[in-house]
Structure formats: structure tokens, C-alpha cells
Structure 1
Amino acid sequence: MVDGILKPLLDDDNFGGTFIDCFGPSDNEIPSLKSYDIEDRILAGDGIRDYYGGNCSVGFWARRQPNENFIATAGHCHTSGSYYLVPWNSTPTALIGRMKNYFKEPIDFGLINIEHSDVQPVPSVRNTDSARYKELPIKDIIPVSSNGAHLCLSGVKSHVKCGYVLALNGFTSDGIYFRGNLFVVNLRSIQGDSGGSIFSYKNLMD
């Protein structure tokens, strides 16, 4: 199991509602899936491709009651067209929907509306390269609170890679945008990993 870092709980006028934690049991249980739907399950770390061929990764599944589902990713991945699901080592398999809510500041964040019933979000991180743990169920949400903490990334290009927190108050600037209060981890993502899930492992036997 894993602890998720990104928190799927928002209360912001930009989105017009409150998004709740979709990873607990209770009434957020997802329906069972038929075997032939397996290629259209969306896991954290899967790829998304826009109409123009740009690639990003899935961060987590978010939901606004009663039945609006979203995929969270990076806001800079926004385009006006629809997005397609791209599982690891695959070509696009299913149409997801459009990103109607996004921003780059103060955080780089966007929500893709799941507009098609033939795709199903799953509260797990993709880890297909592992022989034993191909999916990592998301257990709960944790803050990053100390240097040296162990963190991992799941993204469509890097797959899963891990490192350690080097700083909790880093910053970056490209001359136009300045972003502060960033945590810095000693792992390098690849173009296409943007928006992917950041997590830490718990005991896999739990």
C-alpha cells in the first residue's frame, strides 16, 4: 500500500464545489469491473495524451458528489481538446474528456472531466514493472514534513522511481513565474511525467 501526497480535497470557487477524498471505503467504492474493461481502467501514474499529441500523467482520481469524476494532473498540461488514456507501454486506448478547470499559479493543477462511461478511475498507483505488486492501493494522505523522507513518482515515462527529500522550502523561476515552498527530491522526472502521482510506501503486507 502507499500513502498519497497529493490531496484530493478542494474547496475553491474556481471549481464551484468541494472535492472529497475518493480513496476511503464507505460510499466512494468503485463498481466491480468486467475483465474486458481492464485496458480502460485509469490508475495514478498512467499517461494522458491530448489531441495535439502532448503527454502528461495521472495524479489521482477526484470526485464531486454525487457523480462527477475527474482526473487530477498538472495545470500546464491544459489544451482545449479532449484527452485519451495511455497506459504504460501502450498507445491511446480510450477517450476520457476535457480539462475545464485548471491554473498554473499558485499551484500547477488541473482537473480533467471524465465524460465517457467506458473509462473507470481506480484508487491505486500503477506499478506494472513489479512482478509482485503491479498496483499499489492508495491508503491515505500524508504531508511531507521532514528532510530525508523517502518519496516515489509514478509517471507514464519514468514508470516508478524513488528518491529522498533534500529540501522543504525550495523555489524555481523561469523569469516569468516564481514558485516557492517547494519540496526538492533527488530524482529526475522525464517529459510526460508531469502531473504524475507522488507517494511513499507503507508495509506492502498490510
Structure 2
Amino acid sequence: MSNIYFLLNTLLLLFFTLNKQSLVLTREALAELWNVNDAEIPNLLAIEEQLIIVDRTLQLLLESYESSFGGTYIDVKKEKVLINTIDFSKVPIILNSPEIKLNNYSRFLDFVPAERSFTKLKYNLIKISDLIKKYRPSEIQCYIDMKLNNVVIGYTNKYRNRKFIKSAEKYNPNFIQQRNSDSEDEKPKAFQAQIASRDIIPKIFNGDGITTLEYDCSIGFPARNNDLIYIVTAAHCYKENKLYYHIPWNSNIVYTQLGQMVKSEHMYEYDFGLIKIDENATKLISARIRNTDSEYAELNVEGGRIITSHGAHVCKSGLTTHVTCGYAVGLNAIVTYINSKIVENLVLYGKDNSIISKGGDSGGSVFSYLQTLSNVSLIGIHIGRSIDLSTYLPLDLILSKGEIELVKTPL
């Protein structure tokens, strides 16, 4: 009888996936971000890739003129790289440089007036970073917002952080009081999860859920160190001596036992953890990202990349909110947790007035699309949120500090 119950549950889950057109929003998450039809996405992806190439070239040129310019950001809909400009007398130098002139990149450039040079922005960020380490404020986000041409300090509790805020005021950052939210720490499930029959064993995708039967997180990606296979997720999902199990989207059925998270030095500093996979689970792990609310139900991961442009799209796949997308808002951000833990070198991403992640998404895959909606580059794992802005830990940092390699093909 129990086997019949589990079979029916699985069939219902499959029915949901196959009939997604009538059950979920018809537009892709990236179309929602750009407010376009799905058919327009490939063209905009090509435009964005071109802008990123131009921006990368431009950033190298501007390194010699950091006191004259205040950073760059891209706008895909405008098809422009916008350059914050303090000294317009230097604009002809940039436009006449061989890198810009020979490639006809000037058609993509828009020089906009700005108050703060990149030299000033970097100086202020360093000084405010020092204050964060001195006062150890709680639930702070600090980053350079290129569109605002200023350092931004986001906070939820002004009184608790009053000494830090008062000290930081002399650097004239933009203070943004964020709306209070539930903690990103995963909540106990509202129902008692049930262990599935061993006769029904679904594949395990990036972006699927993991659970200790008390707390839920999401799968980032599989990785290896020699012959050892791991699942990468957020370190704050760590529960000592607890086993983790696979839980697919839209399910209260717990499936394969995965293993335990390995305790290590990098867990506290960088907020990523490694679950050592039990041998029986290894053959079920896919290197693809789940996207079963879409026509493109499984996303092929074609390696990794580093996001270098403010304004580039960033998407994530997680247990709670599935696939959602935002813009890269703050690169090399500094974030503090409710316990005043400080994590650096993060990336903030989001969409204006939209919540694109919730509790349970932590550890999920963060990626960017390539030239089609079926192929992506992995860029990190999701580790937190504060209402409008979500946070990811970059892939290159995870691989280097964890001494692991990305698994790009089935195990």
C-alpha cells in the first residue's frame, strides 16, 4: 500500500512538470527580469555578451584614469556600457584608444556625469570595511553601486549598529534601511517529511533540495577531489552529525540519503560546505541544473565564469523559489550576518521591488545563461538575502578554497 502511495506521489510530481504551461508563469525567469517575451531573449543575450566584452576592455583602459572616471555598468535594454565620468576632457583619450577605435566599440559607450571617481570609491570602501571589522555590525551589506556612483551600506537595525553607522557617515555612503525579513537560515518544515520507497529513486539535480528532516537547503553543484565526490552547498546549512537527504521541488517526499557535511576551516570564513556523497547516491547525481517550471527543464552546465560587469544578469535555482533572475548590483561586497560574522568577496544581485530568493534556497546553483536558454555557466552558490538583494559566493573562490574541481559531466 505504501509503495502505491509513493508511486502516485511521484506520478503527480511528473504530471506537474509535464503540464507546467498551465500551472506556472509562461515567461522564462530571464524574460521576467528584462520584461520581454521569451523569443527576444537570445538576441538580448547576444547583446549582453557583446557589452560584457566591451566593458572588460574598457575596465582595463580606465585603470590608468581612475581619478577621472567612476566605474562602469551595462544596460542591456539600452545596448550601452555607461561610464561614470568626472573629467570629460579625458573622454577623447578613451575613444581614440586602439582597443576602442579599431573594434568600433564607441557605439556602445555612454559617458554620464558623476561626482565620485573610482579612486575615491575604492578608498571609501576600504575605510568602511575597516570600520566593519572594528565594530562588527550585525546584518550589514556594503558594496559599490555603480549606478548610484557611491558606496552603499544596507542595514536592518539602525540602533543596534549606531556606533558603526555614525563612524561611517564621514565617508558619505548611501545608507539604505532594508525592510525586516525572516532570517535566511532555513526554517523547520511545516509538515513531517516522509521517506520514499526505495523503488522510486529520482535523479538529483543542481538546485534541488537537501534536508536533514528538520532544515532545508539547496544543492549548488557536484564537485570532486580525486576520487571523492561532494555536493557543494551553503555552510550555514551545516548541522552536526546530521544526514542529508535529497528532496525534489514541489515534494514532501524525502528520497536518497546523500551523506554528512564535512566540517572544515573554510566553512566559517566563506560560507560554503561540502557534503561527502555516499557511494549509493553517486550514480544518481546529475551535473545539470533543475528548471522544471520551464520548457528547458534541465540546464546544461558548460563550465564556470566570473561576473565582471555591474548590470549583468544573474540567475539562481533553489528549492523554494526555483529559478529566478536579477542584476549584478555589487561586486566584491562585504556582508555581515546576524551574529556579526563577516564574509567578504561576495556578489549582490537582485531585481527592484522583487523578492527572488527565500529560506530554503541557500546553497542553490547561481548561473548565467550563454547564447541559448538551455546552456549556462555556473558562477557560484546562493548564500543569503535581504528582501530585494540576494547574495552569492563566487565559484572561483569555492573551487580554490575547497581544493575541488567542478564536475561538468554525469558521474
Normalised by the length of structure 1, the TM-score is 0.75
SS of match in other structure, 2:232: strand
| More deviation, 103-112/170-179 | 170-179
What residue number does 2:258 align with? 96
SS of match in other structure, 2:254: coil
Deviations 1:110-152 (A, max 9, x none): 111111414521111100101x210001001100111001010
What amino acid is aligned across from residue 201 of structure 1 in structure 2?
Y
What residue number does 1:127 align with? 291
**Higher normalized helix content (fraction of residues):** 2
Change (3 A) 1:147 1:118: closer
Q: Does 1:179 align with 2:343?
A: yes
Q: Does 1:141 align with 2:309?
A: no
Which of 59, 64, 69 is the equivalent residue of 2:229? 69
SS of match in other structure, 2:286: strand
Which of 354, 369, 373 is the equivalent residue of 1:201? 369
Which of 191, 208, 224 is the equivalent residue of 1:46? 208
The aligned runs of 1:5-20 (5 Å cut-off) are none
Query: Would the aligned equivalents of 2:269 and 2:342 in 1 still touch at CA under 8 Å?
Result: no
SS of match in other structure, 1:105: helix
Q: How many residues end up aligned between the 2 structures? A: 168
What residue number does 1:156 align with? 319
Deviations 1:11-54 (A, max 9, x none): xxxxxxxxxxxxxxxxxxxxxxxxx9884321110000014x10
CA distance in 1, matches of 2:339, 2:201: 41
Which of 232, 240, 248 is the equivalent residue of 1:87? 248
Change (3 A) 1:180 1:94: same
Superposition misfits of 4+ residues, deviation over 6 angstroms: none
Deviations 1:73-94 (A, max 9, x none): 0111111210010011112111
Deviations 1:57-77 (A, max 9, x none): 0000011223x2111001111
CA distance in 1, matches of 2:288, 2:339: 37
Identical-residue share of aligned pairs (%):
39
Change (3 A) 1:39 1:133: farther
Query: Would the aligned equivalents of 1:95 and 1:116 in 2 still touch at CA under 8 Å?
Result: no
CA distance in 2, matches of 1:89, 1:74: 21
